């Protein structure tokens, strides 16, 4: 055994960083397994997308296009921006890591709401950037408090819209006013992983806001509405100086060949995919209405999940769901995030949630 004093040097910060916890899958006593813990789409890839993946699989002996040129061009056309305003990465979370690496330096700070996406503090710590967490108010971002938290040390502000895990949103006028308050030296990242599920007309398209704001970047993903979570593909829309910095921090060939092919095919089938998104949005209303009718308080959500503020009962509620073969995402002492599945899967969850609400 190597003496402790001779062990290789590792960064002390790693001792306090817990590993990222992916959504669990559980199995009930009857063998039933309903996974509503990871905000995944319940639908598999479209036939045209599967065919594109199959064709691409014949070329796995070659490295992928390092610049993802065809995909970047297709994305630029899709969102209506110049090609040099787009960068791709291994999911929007991979792009966020690249952004933090680009701004990270001693004394740098990143400001974000809390609770929000649980990867934010983990990635900030890994990049050596100090997190400044601003409490949410009424389950939503407090943009005034976020702006007040910005200092000369702030390098980035994250705005998750819709917010994960609460599903709440910030609206166009308040977000524009917030952006006007943020100094030019601070990069504001609009994390829009659930953009395609938004139906509230008051919620802005981040691409509209970034155009005349060089310090604004938008993150989106193919993991949710497009149903490609396993392929790890996301994209960024920003002004060229930001997109170039992100490309410099990209691990070579991080966006694999199958992901590039699937992304291009998914954009070509966008209208068909959005029909499936519409079905999830309809299911969202049904599930939320049923939960409210059973006694739960559920904030309005524009994502593909609902948020139940269960407080001290959170872990007990998650355990009750698990006993029935339903996996949800609990945040101890706060609440549970529950993804939307198929109608049949959601009915299993609703039966558990209704029974639990009646005995609380």
| pLDDT band at 31; cut points 50, 70, 90 | confident
Domains of the chain: 22-44+271-359 (3.90.1150.10), 47-268 (3.40.640.10)
| pLDDT over 60 at 199, yes or no | yes
| pLDDT over 90 at 360, yes or no | no
| pLDDT band at 173; cut points 50, 70, 90 | very high
Residue 75's closest CA among 218, 274, 224?
218
The helix or strand, by DSSP H or E, that contains position 176, with its residue range, turns out to be helix 172-181
- Of 22-31, 56-65, 113-122, which range is least confident? 22-31
Residue 188's closest CA among 91, 103, 250, 75?
103
| pLDDT over 70 at 153, yes or no | yes
| pLDDT band at 16; cut points 50, 70, 90 | confident
Q: What is the pLDDT of residue 3?
A: 54
- Residue 77: both structure tokens together: 């056309």
| pLDDT band at 7; cut points 50, 70, 90 | low
Q: What is the pLDDT of residue 9?
A: 72
Q: What is the mean pLDDT of residues 200-228?
A: 97
Bridge partners of residue 234, in order along the sequence:
89, 221
Residue 108's closest CA among 88, 85, 131?
131
Residues of the chain by 3-state class (helix, strand, coil), percent to 5: 45, 15, 40
| pLDDT over 90 at 30, yes or no | no
Instruction: Calculate the dihedral angle through the C-alpha atoms of 339, 172, 297, 137, rounding to the nearest 10 degrees.
Output: 110
Q: What is the pLDDT of residue 250?
A: 94
| pLDDT over 70 at 5, yes or no | no
Pairing of strands 305-308, 234-237: unpaired
| pLDDT over 80 at 357, yes or no | yes
| pLDDT over 90 at 21, yes or no | no
Q: Where are the beta strands (DSSP E) in the chain?
A: 34-35, 86-89, 109-114, 130-135, 154-160, 187-191, 216-221, 234-237, 305-308, 326-327, 329-331, 335-339
Q: What is the mean pLDDT of residues 100-128?
A: 96
Contacts of 301 (CB under 8 A, 6+ apart): 162, 166, 167, 168, 284, 288, 307
Q: What is the pLDDT of residue 19?
A: 73
Q: For 61-107, what is each residue's pLDDT tens digit?
A: 999 999 999 999 999 999 999 999 999 999 999 999 999 999 999 99
| pLDDT over 60 at 6, yes or no | no
Q: Over pLDDT 70: what percentage of the chain?
A: 97
Q: For 268-306, what is each residue's pLDDT tens digit?
A: 999 999 999 999 999 999 999 999 999 999 999 999 999
Contacts of 36 (CB under 8 A, 6+ apart): 305, 326, 327, 328, 338, 339, 340, 341, 345, 346, 349
3-state secondary structure of 1: coil
Q: Over pLDDT 90: what percentage of the chain?
A: 90
- Residue 229: both structure tokens together: 């979570």
Q: Where are the beta strands (DSSP E) in 178-286?
A: 187-191, 216-221, 234-237
| pLDDT over 80 at 20, yes or no | no
| pLDDT band at 170; cut points 50, 70, 90 | very high
Q: What is the mean pLDDT of residues 17-30?
A: 74
Q: In what side-by-side order are the strands of the sheet with 305-308?
A: 305-308, 335-339, 329-331
Query: Phi, psi at residue 115, to the nearest 5°?
Result: -90, 145
Q: For 301-338, what is each residue's pLDDT tens digit?
A: 999 999 999 999 999 999 999 999 999 999 999 999 99
Interior/surface letters 79-109, b for 16+ CB within 10 angstroms, e for the rest: bebeeebbbbbbbbbbbbbbbbbbbbeeebb
Q: What is the pLDDT of residue 297?
A: 96
| pLDDT over 70 at 257, yes or no | yes
């Amino acid at each position: 055994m190597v003496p402790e004093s001779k062990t290789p040097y590792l960064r002390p910060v790693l001792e306090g960083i817990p590993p990222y916890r992916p959504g669990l899958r559980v199995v009930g006593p009857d063998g039933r397994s309903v996974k509503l813990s990871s905000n995944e789409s319940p639908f598999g890839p479209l036939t045209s997308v599967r065919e594109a993946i199959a064709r691409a699989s014949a070329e796995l002996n070659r490295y992928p296009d390092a610049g993802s040129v065809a995909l970047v061009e297709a994305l630029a056309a899709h969102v209506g921006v110049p090609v040099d305003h787009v960068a791709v990465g291994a999911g929007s979370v991979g792009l966020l890591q690249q952004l933090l690496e680009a701004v990270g330096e001693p004394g740098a700070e990143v400001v974000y709401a809390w609770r929000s996406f649980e990867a934010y503090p983990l990635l900030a710590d890994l990049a050596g950037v100090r997190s400044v967490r601003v409490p949410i108010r009424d389950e939503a971002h407090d943009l005034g408090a976020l702006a007040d938290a910005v200092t000369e040390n702030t390098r980035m502000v994250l705005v998750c819209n819709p917010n994960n895990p609460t599903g709440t949103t910030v609206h166009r006028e308040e977000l524009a006013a917030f952006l006007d308050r943020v100094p030019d030296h601070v990069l504001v990242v609009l994390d829009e992983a659930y953009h395609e599920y938004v139906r509230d007309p008051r919620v802005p398209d981040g691409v509209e806001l970034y155009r005349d704001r060089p310090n604004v970047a938008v993150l989106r993903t193919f993991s949710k509405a497009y149903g490609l979570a396993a392929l790890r593909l996301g994209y960024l829309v920003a002004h060229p100086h930001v997109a170039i910095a992100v490309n410099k921090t990209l691990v070579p060939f991080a966006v694999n060949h199958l992901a590039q092919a699937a992304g291009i095919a998914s954009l070509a089938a966008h209208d068909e995919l959005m029909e499936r998104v519409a079905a999830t949005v309809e299911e969202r209303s049904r599930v939320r209405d049923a939960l409210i009718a059973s006694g739960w308080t559920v904030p309005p959500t524009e994502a593909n999940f609902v948020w139940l503020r269960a407080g001290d009962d959170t872990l007990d509620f998650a355990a009750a769901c698990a006993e029935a073969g339903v996996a949800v995402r609990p945040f101890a002492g706060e609440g549970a995030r529950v993804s939307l599945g198929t109608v049949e899967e959601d009915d299993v969850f609703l039966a558990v949630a209704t029974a639990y609400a009646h005995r609380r």
